[in-house]
Structure 1
Amino acid sequence: MKDRTASEWKFVGELRRKQPFEFRWCNRKPQAEEVDFSSGIRFPGQAPFPRLATVWKSFERFLKNWPAKTSGNPLPLCFSIQQERLFESYDIVISERGIDVQAGDSEGIRRALYHLEDLFLSADAPYLKKGTLSRKPWLKNRISRCFFSPIKRAPHFRDELADKFDYYPEAYLERLASEGINGLWITVEWKELASTSFTKPSAGTERRLAKLRSVADRCLEYGIRIFVFCIEPAAFAPDSSFLKKHPEFGGCEVFGKRAFCLKSAHALQYIRESVGSIFQAIPKLGGMINISHGERPTTCLSSCPCTQDVSPACRGNCGFSNADLWKRAVEAMRDGMKEFSPDADLISWLYMPEGKKRAEWVFTLARNIPEGVILQYNFESNINAVQLGKIRNGGDYWLSQAGPSADFEKMAFPAKEHRSGLSAKLQVGCSHEVATVPIVPVPGILYRKYRKMREMNVRHVMQCWYFGNYPGLMNKAAGHLAFEEFAGTETDFLRELARPVWGSATETAVEAWTLFADAYGNYPLSNMFQYYGPAHAGTVWEWQFDFRLKPLAPTWHPSDSHDGDAIGECLREHSLGEAVILTRTLSEKWTEGVRKLTRAVQSLPFGRAREKSLDLARALEVQFASVARVLQFYELRSRFASEMLPFMRILVSEEIAGRKALAELCARDSSLGFHSEAEGYLYSREMLSASIPSMEKLLERLGAPFAVPQMPERKQSVFGQWTENRTFRWKLEKLPEKGHLKFTLESMQNETPRVFELALCDRTLSEPVRFLSFKNSGVIQDHLKCIDAQWDGGTVFEAEFPSPYPKLSGSVSCAEGPHDFEYLYDAWPRRPGDRKSQLRLGLRYFHPGYTGDFM
């Protein structure tokens, strides 16, 4: 993939352009209960309250687009502030005398003006119904992120505070503000911004602070506060020079690092000063979002998995409970922040994506939230849902499922009465299911999420990770829902949302969105399908007729490799056959929605926003159809018979047509194919066109007489016989009387911590890979549903389990070092460069090309 930057992405130019206003007024007379604004609105020339200049300009531009006025005097638009009202709340009073906006503050006036724009764009004539419209937000912070700014992570490690590019142009901020966004987050590291008694400013500190200050000031003009996002205090490398100078900061070992110890007064001073230094330099920041547990190691609490009821094995034996450790850290951050920015918010994010039962200590944190701290938790982490009659489990980040997970509900219950309230981590625009489109248009699912959030007294929301934040329908829906009373139905809400754009075709558009939401619920609930499946970039995959046994590329990283065919790697919760059924249902129902949306577009005059909505829906139609096709192709390959060739040819022919159609859609919408976390395109018009010759060659191969898929030669291990490795030996044997298998491993070296892993799969790598991972202390993960698994005498490990597949392939591996940060040391089958093998999320060191057959 070519390394490009924001200056080369065409959609950035589009985001710099102001959005047009489209009035659809007919020639009719006002009814008795309506006020006639056909003569226009008399709008004050200057904003009477601070920080409203940008929305004033927006509304003036709106009035300039007002259709031809009739003779007569324009009715006045008046404003007043009543300070006893809630932040951002407002009333719009419509009467024969004009419009009177009564708000609690300047931000309430901003929200009222955007609401007025929607009211007139929703109307079929320049008339509004008499009465009072009252709105007050139940969500205070609604935090998003720039869609295209650098992520400050691998592989590019770009930092938006270190370059000169403008990621927040005026038109973009105006659009975000009009959609209800009032916060944006930017990634920082303390060491690059803060100065303390223990540390000096880094070389680029002043440059970064200057840009962050400029961005914060500019965004605040649009009612948007900047939140710095961090994972702090960061753990130390073992050879840290800072740690040698201040050994009291070193805590327990975690993931190959030394955790930050919270025992000493110096440690708390360092935290207070670090945060205080940033907010002293930029007091207008909205706050800080800090991952306090998860993602990367920070304090000694990081050594406690969220799925195990354990305490840190601290070197200093501090005696603090897990809740104490968390509170000490966040209270020090809060104090440092509030000293210089009393109105700033500290959001402590527990990032716990695992699809496993949570340890009880996690929920004690929700019962011990310090004053002035907001606790944030993922809304869907460890969610369960029934698909095809079976309960399936997903980790984090789901838009296709309404949620919440039972874990979120359990966190929300004790936090419900806390003054600062709970924050929900969501994916509003799109999620890891498919992040190569700007949004997935399923506002009905968003409605269900927000309704539950309000019931649970959630008061803040972080709307996105690196993706899921493109302006448009889903941001707009979330902005409306933050003020929603939920007195009506989901359909009522969707109608209100649709009217400004869809006018007389509102009912048809709502029917389309409802079909999309129904379709999307069939997305396979499995994080492996998100991380390695074909939904993101399957439209440029190189389909393989022969079994090449190549690994699938991760969907969140840029990749030039599109020829992976070990389709079982993206399955965990479903068989391949089940995934085919679900994705075909998803595809077919989505197509029904596209037909509805097409009728809505065709019933109205040309409108760019509607045409773009239809192009987006059609792009997703192609992507979802492609997902179903590639899964069906590999399912047919896995049980190949010559009579399947015609069906395989049809699938390939349809795929070629789909790729050509998607290439044309890409020519009209440059945001298609872009993945914000990959910081580039996973598919594009050029990539789609380049993928077609290999598909045409495959079509020829399938037309050849006696075509049969070839399987490469693999190592073999005989049931019941020992296989010798360099540092261990093992055998897999059948237990005929039980119909089970028994795995035995004998370790020859016990002085070094190790992780062993048995990975079993079907011969064609078409079904889920099943792992049994274990170390000296016991089993880490068990997909084989072991009846018994334990060490005997510390050197021999034995496990008994039912065979997952009739004919088995697989691998056995040994890695050294701390779990998830170790390196591969020894494996069967042997592979070149064992020590350099890359750890893969959810798959660890498994590689389909290095599997053997059990005979």
Structure 2
Amino acid sequence: MKPLLGFFLIVTLLCLPYPGSSQSRLPRGSYPPALTFEHFPNRLFAFVWRNWNLVSAEKMARLLHCETWQVRDIAQAMGLEEKEPLFPAYSRQLYISLLRRNWHLLPYEQLLELTELSENQLDFALKEDDFLFHKFGRLKPRVERLQYSLPTAEAWEKAAQIYGQVDGHIQPPLPEEPRFAFIEQLSQVRSSANPSENAGSSGKGLRLIYSYFGVFGDPLVDPKNDPFPDGLLQKLAEKGVNGVWLHVVLNQLAPGGADFPEFGDRSSERLANLREMARRAQKYGISIYLYINEPRAMPARFFASRPDMAGLSKQGLTTLCTSNEKVQHWISQSLTHVFEQVPELGGVFTITASENLTNCASHGGKAACSRCSKRPYAEIIAEVNRLIAEGVHRAKPSARVVAWDWGWNGHGPARDVIAELPEDVELMSVSEWGLPIERGGVETRVSEYSLSAVGPGPRALDHWAAAKERGLNTVAKVQWNSTWELSALPWLPVMDLVAKHAANLNQAGVDGYMLSWTLGSYPSPNLEIAHKFSQNPSATVEQVLDELAWERYGRQRVSLVRKAWTGFSDAFQEFPYHQKVVYNAPQQYGPANLLFLEPTGYASTMVGFPYDDLAGWSGPYPPEVLVRQFEKVALGWKKGLDLLGEAAALPSTDLQKENLAEDLILAKAAYLHFLSVAQQGRFILLREQWRRSPSPFVYLQLRNLLEMEIQSAARLYALARVDSRIGFEASNQYYYLPQDLLEKIINCEQLLDTLAVQAASLHRGTGWQ
């Protein structure tokens, strides 16, 4: 994903209340009628199903204005077992999942009750939490308040059918790892290990990563949501990581002095917590880096007493013009203050042209600013980086300042900016950006993060060359674990692609890696590949992969595992890559995405709701080509799975057996995601044929696809039950939970029944056999 940074709070004090009902002040967009889910008896049953064990039965009863036993009756009728609800313990990691699964079921008033967010908090989250309202399609479906009413005999009967359908497909009962169990697992420290053992500081170059489960918001005033517990730091260091990054908002972290007295509320508390975090990280050879995306734009009222500092305005916000000397002074001095107070920090990396409105050139609109309109674009962008570097280095000359070229000149060539950068910064580029690729006969270029396309691409190579000409160090922004090609799993076993990319970067002479964005931060074996190349730059791809396979699975498995990795890598290179596909197609949800016999009319959204919008999934690929490419990915991936299964059957030590079993689960889950996208796309193509010209042939194909989706959902359900990481990604939280896969089974069973009725009616009317 692009660096979507809105999920980090601008400043809570600026979120002031304003008049009106929640329906009028929370964003609604086009406000179309909500979808109905006919596989449930009614909306009440759908609500209980989707929220069971996420929130308590008591809370659901309060929201529905009924008794707790009435909610439990509905749940028990559908075969749901009661467990300890998740929301009280993981409210910060679960509220996006709750909003998504209830978006079509509840109006805003009840979403507020369910998530325990205030109206201002929900409004702010939808606008600023990683562009959440955009992910939800920039619309709120229209739905009436949900209240309990006594179910009819027909509803109870349909609930009993749901019980039977689920019971018929999921046998025997499976063990389950509690959701979010991975947080506890990653937080545990191996007491037998020396903290400095395998410390991330070994080897050359920056190796920077985010937290796999970092809670967005303000962790520096909420230590309970520590994104970097000791156990995670230890595990990252063992994979060669020597830097972790944390987003901060500068006006929260440093006081503003006489010019900006509003800034710096609780900054001393934040800095004290940051200092403690940085000191803990140092025990593992890891430094903390701050992500600086400044200066943040402010509401118009902020400039009432300082109109000379206002730059351009956009969507209700106005830039703090960086051509103003007071603004320049604040940027620089605030960073000096931070590094004086927390000298343990390793440095910063910057984005100066992100989706967030910051400097007047950040969105290419500098012409609207009376001062910046007279200055070259490159001068403004480079100056912001210079101000940041001066502030940091005034306090700590050895700190790293990494300038990320994301968005410069609209992602085009930016040698003009590089030529203006100060000499004490490093230049970072997304390695694979701009790489030309061809998939299924469709030619395109990489315009997002990609694992399936092996970089570096022409833009990065040109920018690194320009930086080297100036004597600047270079950093490659890469994704070794996962991308939006499939982010619902912690990592993908495409080791050949990772190793080839790492080898290419070695040859290109880059000086360090940023290993992830907010996704792809798991301490996986993929990270070890980059670490091995950093320890031995002359190593070959074959040497690195053979060594990794031997260490993780044992000597006797090396040949089979290597063939499996190659199979996965070859298959993944068939992925129909395009920005529209990675954002809008249903690979994040796999079999959890519901099917419909009638078009919903809803457009797919950015990693939020794929719906049944095959055209929206496809980008430049004809829908038939998109489906065929996912079929190719799934078919090739299955060959790798078979080889990995053979390796698992060989005798091994307990640790090797455990590693292979764990990795096989993730590989199987990936296969089911790719296969399901192909099956869903094929279903939608056939659905349109059925609606235009029904025939026995199309009917049988539709039935077959529904039965295959039932099998895929049941198989992924079994895997997700035993691995709590499946379906999770930090910025989107849980895309799906095991019970959503059971809902897909119910959904497909209902469609099979409806299709059979339609076919019988057509048979009687036309006599087709």
1:653 corresponds in structure 2 to 707
Q: Does the residue aligned with 1:565 lie in a helix, a strand or coil?
A: coil
CA distance in 2, matches of 1:20, 1:610: 24
Q: Does the residue aligned with 2:597 lie in a helix, a strand or coil?
A: coil
CA distance in 2, matches of 1:464, 1:568: 30
- Displacement after TM superposition at 1:284 (Å): 0.8
Q: Does the residue aligned with 1:290 lie in a helix, a strand or coil?
A: strand
Indicate how the Cα distance of structure 1 residues 491 and 53 shifts in structure 2: closer, same or farther if over 3 A, else same. closer
2:385 corresponds in structure 1 to 330
Q: Does the residue aligned with 1:234 lie in a helix, a strand or coil?
A: coil
User: Partner letter of residue 255 of structure 2?
Assistant: S
Q: Does the residue aligned with 2:224 lie in a helix, a strand or coil?
A: coil
Q: Does the residue aligned with 2:352 lie in a helix, a strand or coil?
A: strand
CA distance in 2, matches of 1:303, 1:692: 45
CA distance in 2, matches of 1:707, 1:228: 64
2:332 corresponds in structure 1 to 272
Alignment equivalent of 2:458, drawn from 400, 403, 406: 406
The answer (yes or no) to whether the contact 1:382–1:395 under 8 Å persists in 2 is yes
Deviations 1:834-855 (A, max 9, x none): xxxxxxxxxxxxxxxxxxxxxx
1:346 aligned to 2:420? no
Q: Does the residue aligned with 2:455 lie in a helix, a strand or coil?
A: coil
CA distance in 1, matches of 2:270, 2:679: 48
1:176 aligned to 2:243? no
1:250 corresponds in structure 2 to 310
The answer (yes or no) to whether the contact 1:252–1:303 under 8 Å persists in 2 is no
2:723 corresponds in structure 1 to 669
Indicate how the Cα distance of structure 1 residues 587 and 708 shifts in structure 2: closer, same or farther if over 3 A, else same. farther
CA distance in 1, matches of 2:282, 2:364: 39
- Displacement after TM superposition at 1:461 (Å): 1.7
- Displacement after TM superposition at 1:359 (Å): 4.6
1:292 corresponds in structure 2 to 352
The answer (yes or no) to whether the contact 1:400–1:445 under 8 Å persists in 2 is yes
2:260 corresponds in structure 1 to 199
1:497 aligned to 2:548? yes
1:693 aligned to 2:743? no
- Displacement after TM superposition at 1:618 (Å): 0.7
User: Partner letter of residue 676 of structure 1?
Assistant: A
CA distance in 2, matches of 1:367, 1:452: 25
Indicate how the Cα distance of structure 1 residues 617 and 160 shifts in structure 2: closer, same or farther if over 3 A, else same. farther
CA distance in 2, matches of 1:514, 1:19: 33
The answer (yes or no) to whether the contact 1:17–1:171 under 8 Å persists in 2 is yes
1:633 corresponds in structure 2 to 683
Map of 1:464-475 to 2, 5 A cutoff? 464-475=516-527
- Displacement after TM superposition at 1:493 (Å): 2.0
Q: Does the residue aligned with 1:164 lie in a helix, a strand or coil?
A: helix
CA distance in 2, matches of 1:257, 1:270: 19
1:600 aligned to 2:600? no
Indicate how the Cα distance of structure 1 residues 394 and 368 shifts in structure 2: closer, same or farther if over 3 A, else same. same
- Further displaced range: 196-205 or 700-709: 700-709
CA distance in 2, matches of 1:174, 1:567: 43
User: Partner letter of residue 416 of structure 1?
Assistant: K
The answer (yes or no) to whether the contact 2:209–2:245 under 8 Å persists in 1 is yes
Alignment equivalent of 1:233, drawn from 285, 295, 304: 295
Indicate how the Cα distance of structure 1 residues 269 and 508 shifts in structure 2: closer, same or farther if over 3 A, else same. same
CA distance in 1, matches of 2:377, 2:241: 34
1:516 aligned to 2:568? yes
CA distance in 1, matches of 2:682, 2:507: 42
Indicate how the Cα distance of structure 1 residues 529 and 338 shifts in structure 2: closer, same or farther if over 3 A, else same. same
Indicate how the Cα distance of structure 1 residues 182 and 429 shifts in structure 2: closer, same or farther if over 3 A, else same. same
2:280 corresponds in structure 1 to 218
1:9 corresponds in structure 2 to 180
Q: Does the residue aligned with 1:229 lie in a helix, a strand or coil?
A: strand
The answer (yes or no) to whether the contact 2:355–2:363 under 8 Å persists in 1 is no
1:819 corresponds in structure 2 to none
CA distance in 2, matches of 1:708, 1:639: 17
CA distance in 1, matches of 2:194, 2:292: 32
User: Partner letter of residue 577 of structure 1?
Assistant: E
Indicate how the Cα distance of structure 1 residues 570 and 421 shifts in structure 2: closer, same or farther if over 3 A, else same. same
Indicate how the Cα distance of structure 1 residues 170 and 294 shifts in structure 2: closer, same or farther if over 3 A, else same. closer
Could you say which structure has the larger radius of gyration? 1
Indicate how the Cα distance of structure 1 residues 636 and 491 shifts in structure 2: closer, same or farther if over 3 A, else same. farther
1:391 aligned to 2:443? yes
CA distance in 2, matches of 1:392, 1:478: 28
- Further displaced range: 200-209 or 190-199: 200-209
Q: Does the residue aligned with 1:251 lie in a helix, a strand or coil?
A: strand
CA distance in 2, matches of 1:574, 1:151: 35
1:187 corresponds in structure 2 to 247
CA distance in 1, matches of 2:638, 2:209: 30
Map of 1:261-660 to 2, 5 A cutoff? 261-304=321-364, 312-316=367-371, 319-352=374-407, 358-360=411-413, 362-488=414-540, 490-503=541-554, 504-555=556-607, 557=608, 564-605=611-652, 606=654, 607-640=657-690, 641-642=694-695, 643-660=697-714
- Displacement after TM superposition at 1:666 (Å): 1.3
CA distance in 2, matches of 1:404, 1:526: 17
CA distance in 2, matches of 1:254, 1:547: 36
Indicate how the Cα distance of structure 1 residues 583 and 317 shifts in structure 2: closer, same or farther if over 3 A, else same. closer
Q: Does the residue aligned with 1:499 lie in a helix, a strand or coil?
A: helix
CA distance in 1, matches of 2:529, 2:617: 31
The structure whose RCO (Cα within 8 Å, separation 6+) is larger is: 2
The answer (yes or no) to whether the contact 2:502–2:529 under 8 Å persists in 1 is no
1:682 corresponds in structure 2 to 735
Aligned residues: 581
1:844 corresponds in structure 2 to none
The answer (yes or no) to whether the contact 1:196–1:273 under 8 Å persists in 2 is no
Map of 1:14-93 to 2, 5 A cutoff? 14-17=185-188, 54-56=195-197
CA distance in 2, matches of 1:674, 1:611: 20
Indicate how the Cα distance of structure 1 residues 621 and 350 shifts in structure 2: closer, same or farther if over 3 A, else same. same
User: Partner letter of residue 687 of structure 1?
Assistant: D
CA distance in 2, matches of 1:482, 1:631: 42
- Further displaced range: 580-589 or 565-574: 565-574
CA distance in 1, matches of 2:485, 2:191: 31
Gap regions ≥5 residues in structure 2: 1-50, 55-86, 95-178, 763-769
The answer (yes or no) to whether the contact 1:253–1:303 under 8 Å persists in 2 is no
Q: Does the residue aligned with 1:652 lie in a helix, a strand or coil?
A: helix
Gap regions ≥5 residues in structure 1: 22-51, 59-106, 112-135, 153-157, 306-310, 710-855
Alignment equivalent of 1:150, drawn from 203, 211, 215: 215
User: Partner letter of residue 549 of structure 1?
Assistant: G
- Displacement after TM superposition at 1:182 (Å): 0.5
CA distance in 1, matches of 2:685, 2:93: 40
Deviations 1:463-501 (A, max 9, x none): 11111011111122222233342453x223210121111
- Displacement after TM superposition at 1:538 (Å): 2.8
Indicate how the Cα distance of structure 1 residues 627 and 474 shifts in structure 2: closer, same or farther if over 3 A, else same. same
The answer (yes or no) to whether the contact 1:353–1:395 under 8 Å persists in 2 is no
CA distance in 1, matches of 2:372, 2:484: 40
Among the aligned pairs, what percent are the same residue?
A: 23
Q: Does the residue aligned with 2:475 lie in a helix, a strand or coil?
A: strand
CA distance in 2, matches of 1:532, 1:454: 33
- Further displaced range: 185-194 or 424-433: 424-433
Deviations 1:24-48 (A, max 9, x none): xxxxxxxxxxxxxxxxxxxxxxxxx
User: Partner letter of residue 654 of structure 1?
Assistant: M
The answer (yes or no) to whether the contact 1:416–1:456 under 8 Å persists in 2 is no
CA distance in 2, matches of 1:377, 1:436: 25
Could you say which structure has the higher helix fraction? 2
RMSD: 2.6
Indicate how the Cα distance of structure 1 residues 589 and 359 shifts in structure 2: closer, same or farther if over 3 A, else same. closer
Q: Does the residue aligned with 2:246 lie in a helix, a strand or coil?
A: strand
CA distance in 2, matches of 1:18, 1:626: 38
- Displacement after TM superposition at 1:323 (Å): 1.9
- Displacement after TM superposition at 1:592 (Å): 0.3
Q: Does the residue aligned with 1:301 lie in a helix, a strand or coil?
A: coil
